[in-house]
Amino acid sequence: MGLAMSLPSTIFISIWGSMQLAKMHIISETVAIILFLVIIGNILFLMVYYANKRKD
């Protein structure tokens, strides 16, 4: 439940942080978008994983 509740704030902070890194030319915009998608995908995977683990 903690992962689900932190998802909206994680979305905002990860997109803001990755775009700031792209703006400072540390990473490209493509890498910033991929980084954002990996972070969100990981959280969604962990939510499903823990739900299935707890169900058994």
Q: What is the pLDDT of residues 7-18, one digit of tens each?
A: 788 888 988 999
Amino acid letter, 47: M
For residues 35 and 16, the answer to whether their CB atoms sit within 8 Å is no
Q: How far is CA 35 from CA 13, 24, 26, 49, 50, in A?
A: 12, 16, 13, 21, 23
Q: Which pLDDT band, with edges at 50, 70 and 90, does 47 fall under?
A: confident
Residues 6+ apart with CB under 8 A from 51: none
Tell me what the mean pLDDT of segment 30-38 comes to: 93
- Its pTM stands at 0.76
Where do the domains of the chain lie? Answer: 2-55
- Residue 10 to residue 43: CA distance in whole angstroms: 9
